[in-house]
Amino acid sequence: MYLVMYISHDVEQADAILQEWMRVGVEGATIIESAGLRQMMNSHLRDDLSIMPTLANLLRDTEVHHRTLFSAIRDDTLLQKVVQTTTAYVGDWSKPDVGILLVLPLLQAYGVEKGHPQQKTKARPS
C-alpha cells in the first residue's frame, strides 16, 4: 500500500489532477489547503491596515495557497496509473509551478476501506 501526495500551487490544476486520479480508479482522496515555506517567509502580518480599512486594502492579499491531495493506493497497478496520468498532465517535472508528486510506502492504514455511507449499512452491536 502507498500514500500518494500531490502538492499544487494552483487550485484549478489540483482539481484537474483529482479528476484524472478518479478517472484511472482512485476511489477516495483528501484535499487540504496548504502553504509552502516560501509563501510563509514572504507573508507578514498586515500592519499596513488602518482601523477602518478600505476594500482595496483588504483585497491586496498576496498570499498564495496550495492544494495538497492525498490518497491511499492499495496496489502497484493503480499506483503506476496515478503516476503516469499525473505526469502526463503536468508534463516536465523539472519546470517551475508544475507541483510535486510524492509516493510513500504505507505500512499500516486504518479506516480507509469504509466506503460511501449510503453503500454500506453499519451493523450495530446487539
The architecture CATH gives domain 2-41+63-105: 2-Layer Sandwich (3.30)
Query: Measured between alpha carbons, how far is 14 from 8 in angstroms, rounded to an integer?
Result: 6
pLDDT, tens digit (0-9, with 9 covering 90-100), for 95-116:
988 899 999 999 998 887 766 5
Query: Measured between alpha carbons, how far is 4 from 75 in angstroms, rounded to an integer?
Result: 12
The predicted model scores a pTM of 0.69
Domain boundaries, given as residue ranges, for the chain = 2-41+63-105
User: How confident is the prediction for the chain on average, in pLDDT?
Assistant: 78
Name the CA dihedral angle for 69, 75, 77, 78, rounded to a multiple of 10 degrees.
Answer: -30
pLDDT, tens digit (0-9, with 9 covering 90-100), for 53-85:
555 544 555 455 688 999 999 999 999 999 999
